[in-house]
Structures are given as C-alpha cells and as structure tokens.
Amino acid sequence: MSKTAGGKKNGLDTTIPTLGPAKIPSPLNLDRYIDDSDTIDLTLSEEEADVPEAQGQSLKFEMAGPREKIYFDSGKVKCAIVTCGGLCPGINDVIRAIVMDAHHHYHVASMLGVRYGLQGFIPKYGHDIVELTPQNVSNFHVFGGTELGSSRGPQAPDEVVDALERMNVNVLFMIGGDGTMRAAARIVDEIQKRNSRIGVIGIPKTIDNDINFVSSSFGFDTAVEKATEAIACAHVEATGAYNGIGMVKLMGRESGFIAAQATLALKEVNFVLIPENPFQIDGPDGLLDQLEKRLRSRHHAVIVVAEGAGQHLCDASGRTDASGNPVLCDICAMLISRIKEHFKARNLEANIKFIDPSYIIRSVPANANDRVYCGFLGQNAVHAAMAGKTGLVISRLQSRFVHVPLEMVTMKRKKLNTDSGYWRAVIESTGQESMNHGGGSGTID
C-alpha cells in the first residue's frame, strides 16, 4: 500500500493511503481532473480542529475530486454502503448520491446496502443485504433517518473483513460519527494485515458537529434550523405565563455546537448551558440567582440546555451505552427540580415549560443546504474510491472538499472553545453572566 500527496507537520500526517497505482483511464469525460499532486494549504480555526498540533499551522491537504486515471476497472467493481450510529438529517441523501454517481458515471457492477450498521456484516444477526440501484434509491432523499437502518456498538473487524471478502466487495463506504471512523480505521488495519485490496472511504456523520477536521458536519444546518423552531415555541410558552420559563433540551453529549448556534440564530435565549462550560447552580453567580433576577425584571426566560451540560453536578452512573459513550444523567430533570425548590422557598411563582425535540430533530429530512452538501460528499467519496484511495474521510474545510486520513479525524472529539470569539458572541446574545466559578455544586443525592 502506497501513499499520495499530503505532508507531515507537527506530527500530523495528511498523506493518503492508496491501494496501488492508478493506471486505468477514467470513464468520465471531463475537461479538468484533480491530480494527486493538487493540494491546498489550510490554516484551521479552533472550530475546525480542536487539536493543539493543528492550531495556527498551515496543513497541506489532498484535494477531493475525480482523477484522470483510476485504480479499479469500474465496470467490474462491487461496492457496499453501511450507516452506523445515531440518526442525522441527510444520511439518505449521501446514500443516494453515492449510488447515483457510482452507477451513472462509473457504471459499477453492483452496489450493496448493508442493513443495520456493522451488525449487517455478522452472520449471527441475520440481517439481509440489499441491492442498491438508481431506481430504488431515487426517493431516498424525501425521507429522514436511514433507509438502510443503523445500530450502535463495535463489531470485530476481522469478522467485518471476512464478510467483505465473502461478498467480493472492493470498496466499503462507511457513513458515521467518531466511533464509526475509529471502527473504519480498525477495518483498514485488518485489510492491510491480509494484504487485501479493499478500499474504505468514510463520510463523517454527527449531528453534534464534533468531528475534528470537518468545518461543519452534514445535518448540522438542518438540526439548528429545527432547534430554533423549538426555542421559538419555548419563548411563546414562557411569555404566555407569569414568570414563565421555557426550557429546551438539545443534542450535544460532549460538544455544545447545536445549542450555541441555535442561540445565535434566535435571540430569545437568556441562558445557554453546554458541556464545555461547567456552570454552578447556587451562589451569587449561579444559575438560580441569575434566573431569579431575570424573572423579577422581565417575568419570563428561555433556557437552552445541551444534553451533556452540567454532568459535574450529577451523580455519574458509570455505565456506558453500546457505543462506549458514558450514560448521561438527566440534567434537565435536575434543573427543573432545583428551580421549583428555589422559587418555592422564596414564595415566587414559576411556570416551567419543558421541550425536548431531540428525536424529532434527528429524524427529519435534510434541508436544502444540507442536501447540496450531502451530494458533494457522496460524489467525492465515489471519486476517491475509484481512484484507489483508502483510509480517509471526505471533509469540507473552508468550503473546499479534501481528503483527511482517518487517523486525524479520530484523534479526539471536537469541542467548542469557550475562550473563542464565537462563544463570546453567544454570551453577548444571551446576556447571561459567567456561572463557572463560585457557588455550590448542587449535586443530586
């Protein structure tokens, strides 16, 4: 296995592995192709790469796009697509784009859909494999979720590669988040151990926007749009009652990007709580006192809470879900209880209206912007696969589509920098004061 253009800087290696030399003329009839030597130097912001080695450094990325010479004889290629992890707007659009481009432009022999995530490769689960054609994916984009189904949890990479070899699959497209990309890296390692010629292409999916070296993940724009609808409803509920409090819970296990962006989009939010910014409940700088001041002056308030916020205030269960993520405590239930206690002790009325739109947001079809984005991701994934690339994700960085090695995107999850100008703009929008010092812990028994 060889590598193509890129570079190594501060320990970050951006060169892309290939299955071998690309010698076959592309079936595409284009005026311009991307050469492997075509790279772009990008200096990434903290919102694009939460990796110290990348901060303030110009990194050289290989550009995505069609190559004049390809590795596979595309008319003989069998591909497979798998979707893993939680739902997100736009998954079906990516599937559709891959199938359409592979069939209509590269005339691939077959495109298989693996049902219910990586479980679909393991015989004991008994999930069917489906043939994906332009005809049966033509309306995928109309629906939310994933038409292939999904699942969480790891599967043994050797069993996955066994299945790929049994099915004579040449290229695997993996659509998923941080955990899926780590699984993809393990699958690539297993393929290399066997000296097989199977390409693995990742399309990064996370509604939380927490994948490194991806400016903004697909579905994020749709999620923010739907989140603002819920916040607007919470504002109406809050203003419709004396001392009304509208509380909205949004996705964001470890990263508060949706909560922050939705807050900026809709100026009705008075308090936004995110995992990256530990806050206090009690004391003069705590949430309860600030909320009391707000209600005494305006008689209504809106609080937006990312699901992973305030975990330092809860008793951790120590349990993890099937994907290895810590099981979160219900921060909103705790906040509602404490708010009621606080105002009751002061003989003040408080009317709390709680909205959790999480599963609605995850399940809706992508909006227009995300559909365009998903189309580019799917097309560029096919171009990379046919050129014999492997061990990479298709990423959009600063409006340019590039190839990023799996090892880079899986270094750590991206988090919002609370010392950045972006977070300062969020705080200015809400008018909330700092709650990350002083006060009591408010821990639940």
Distances (CA, A) of 86 to 184, 219, 311: 16, 12, 21
For 218-350, where are the E strands, in sequence order? 244-250, 271-273, 300-306
3 state DSSP class of 262: helix
Show the tokens assigned to 161.
Answer: 């590669």
List 93, 208, 210, 370, catalytic entry: 208
35 is catalytic: no
CA distance 36 to 16: 10
Helix segments in 22-145, DSSP class H: 91-104, 134-137
For 126, other C-beta atoms within 10 Å of its C-beta total 9
Show the tokens assigned to 234.
Answer: 């919470």
Helix (H) or strand (E) holding 325: none
Task: For tokens 């400016």, name the residue.
Answer: 215
How deeply is 233 buried, as exposed, middle or buried, from its count of CB atoms within 10 A (0-12, 13-18, 19+)?
A: middle
What value does the CA radius of gyration of the chain take, rounded to a whole number of Å?
A: 24
CA distance 294 to 271: 10
Are 10 and 57 spatial neighbours (Cβ–Cβ below 8 Å)?
Answer: yes
Are 197 and 77 spatial neighbours (Cβ–Cβ below 8 Å)?
Answer: no
Distances (CA, A) of 366 to 147, 219, 378: 14, 6, 14
Are 231 and 338 spatial neighbours (Cβ–Cβ below 8 Å)?
Answer: no
CA distance 305 to 335: 10
CA distance 13 to 430: 40
Closest CA to 150 of 192, 202, 114, 190: 114
Largest CA distance in the chain: 79
3 state DSSP class of 88: coil
The residues annotated with a catalytic role in the active site are 208
